[in-house]
Amino acid sequence: MSFIRYKRFGNKEYAYEVETYWDPEAKRPRQKTKYLGVVVDKEKKIFERPRQKPREKLILDFGDGYLVQEFLKQKGLSELIRDIFGKKADEVMVLLCYRLCQGGAMRHLPLWLEGNINRILFQAVKLTSQRISRLLKQIGEETKQRDFFKRYVSNYAKCSDGIIIDSTALPNEIDMGLSSWGYGDSSIEMQIRLICVVDRASGMPVYYRYTGGNIVDVSVFNTTIDELRHIGIQSSFVLVDAGFFSEDNIREMHRKGIDYLIRLPASRRIYKDLIKKYSHEMEKACNAVRFGKRILFIRQEQVELYGGEVHAYIVLDPERKGREVKRLMLEAIEDGRVKEESIEYELARRGIMILLSSFEIEGEEVVPLYYMRVKVEQLFGFSKDDLTLLPLRVHKEETLRGYLFLMFLTLVVFTMLRKGLQNKYTVEEALMCMRNLKCKVFDKEVLVGETSKQQKEILSLLNIIVPKKVGI
């Protein structure tokens, strides 16, 4: 049995529902009271209860994680990732965001996720160390990567102006067949070789592959070109360093009709012949070319190379020559080698590099074209330093394949962010600044804090709008 009891406090009347029941232990009747609210209409029994204030649950880093995920949507990469990886796409995007915003060992990802907005944006994602290893194996599957690169190349990397190919060593102590002794940074160490292909016009990473640490660059060139053809890249121009120079590679490019610019290794007979013939004629006014704030001396000659005519560009950097001659002669005097005949040749080649091209290039353009290789070296630097590619913390080849793919994808987004920031901020600065934008999480929504002047500028450069609130 229940009834309504009314009580007045001040100028308001309040209603309570009273229910009478029998307490068998006490053997007497008792009452339970339930608050109904402020009386609005007593006859119609209409009451109004005060709304409960939303309960604040926690505070999270908002700006960096939200920026990365919105940027992925803006560039169409989140759609591409979903098409390729399906149900695993959310986990891939969380991993990608972690590599960009935080980096470090994968085992620390759960700690980062606890304090980042990705926890709310991807509530179903639960990544432990074991699940991360399993995920890396899954995204490392050859068929998925092949599908990804075909879509990626068709949408983001036309390579109509040619490609740049370079490689780097990934030192490690992993016990797997791929990890072998090889040369890296002037020393011999256990390593894996990473080959990266970059679009010459845009500077965007196009493709990557890896080989054993004991495989030299000259051996991977033709396979790399063939793999590129299978994902839709038919490049008409290739820019490579001296490590890729060989008779087989030059003949193969001639056969396939691929133009090239390559540095001639100093160990080749043709290099020595050109030095002996032309080094004493380099420093002439007619050979002078401006390169930034420096002056170079460049002489062009046509030479025969493996049955064909190519253009040789002998490039003398007088500033570099001065430094190298000083170092050489100090060592020669200390070792008593000043009167040796070989010293004359060593003196002649100091400060000189020789570039070979299958087509004629203007003297003032050949060095800037060759130094576009710096784009690849920068990407390697970003991968190893900014994105903490090293040390490798995987122990199986299938996991390594997934990890390197994740790093490639991270490098793609990093490069896009870098372009969008227009050199006004580094990617690291922008993400650190955005991390200071916090949010408060309530039961049904997330309230975002106020943006600073710097944060507004970063968001404007990347054309991203931050909402005042986000639903849960």
pLDDT in tens, 315-333: 999 999 999 999 999 998 8
63, 43: one domain:
no
Q: How far is residue 382's CA from residue 417's CA, in Å, rounded to a whole number?
A: 13
Q: Is residue 150, in this structure, part of any structural domain at all?
A: no
* Res 443: pLDDT: 84
* Res 177: pLDDT: 65
Q: Is residue 276, in this structure, part of any structural domain at all?
A: yes
25, 63: one domain:
no
7, 93: one domain:
no
The H or E element containing residue 37 is strand 28-41
Q: Is residue 293, in this structure, part of any structural domain at all?
A: yes
How far is CA 54 from each of CA 146, 359, 441, 442, rounded to the nearest angstrom?
Answer: 48, 71, 10, 6
Domain total in the chain: 3
Looking at this protein, which amino acid is placed at residue 229? Answer: R
20, 107: one domain:
no
Q: How far is residue 400's CA from residue 404's CA, in Å, rounded to a whole number?
A: 6
Beta strands in 213-351 (DSSP E): 237-240, 259-263, 288-291, 294-305, 308-316
* Res 129: pLDDT: 85
99, 36: one domain:
no
* Res 181: pLDDT: 64
Domain end, chosen from 318, 342, 357, is at 357
Q: Is residue 374, in this structure, part of any structural domain at all?
A: no
Phi, psi dihedral angles at 21 (to 5 degrees): -145, 165
38, 118: one domain:
no
Q: Is residue 172, in this structure, part of any structural domain at all?
A: no
Domain end, chosen from 317, 336, 357, is at 357
Distance, first Cα to last Cα, the chain = 41
Domain that holds residue 270: 259-357
Sheet arrangement for strand 438-441: 58-61, 438-441, 445-448, 469-471
305, 268: one domain:
yes
Q: How far is residue 423's CA from residue 356's CA, in Å, rounded to a whole number?
A: 33
Long-range (24+ apart) CB contacts under 8 A made by 384-390 are: 384/168, 386/103, 386/414, 386/427, 386/428, 387/99, 387/100, 387/103, 387/411, 387/414, 388/99, 388/103, 388/104, 389/170, 390/170, 390/171, 390/172
Tens-digit pLDDT profile for residues 441-471: 998 899 999 999 999 999 999 999 999 988 8
263, 337: one domain:
yes
Point out the residues of the chain with pLDDT beneath 70. 1, 50-56, 173-177, 179-188, 390-393, 395
Residue 391, preceding peptide bond in cis (omega within 30° of 0): yes
Domain end, chosen from 322, 340, 357, is at 357
Per DSSP, 11 falls in state T
Burial (CB count within 10 angstroms: exposed 0-12, middle 13-18, buried 19+), residue 302: exposed
32, 89: one domain:
no
Would you say the pTM of this structure is higher than 0.85? no
Q: Is residue 193, in this structure, part of any structural domain at all?
A: no
Classify 2 in phi/psi space as left (phi over 0), alpha (psi -120 to 50) or beta. beta
63, 44: one domain:
no
Q: Is residue 224, in this structure, part of any structural domain at all?
A: no
**Hey, which residues does 412 pair with through a beta bridge?**
none
How far is CA 351 from each of CA 279, 317, 347, 406, rounded to the nearest angstrom?
Answer: 10, 5, 9, 40
Q: How far is residue 97's CA from residue 89's CA, in Å, rounded to a whole number?
A: 12
44, 73: one domain:
no
285, 353: one domain:
yes
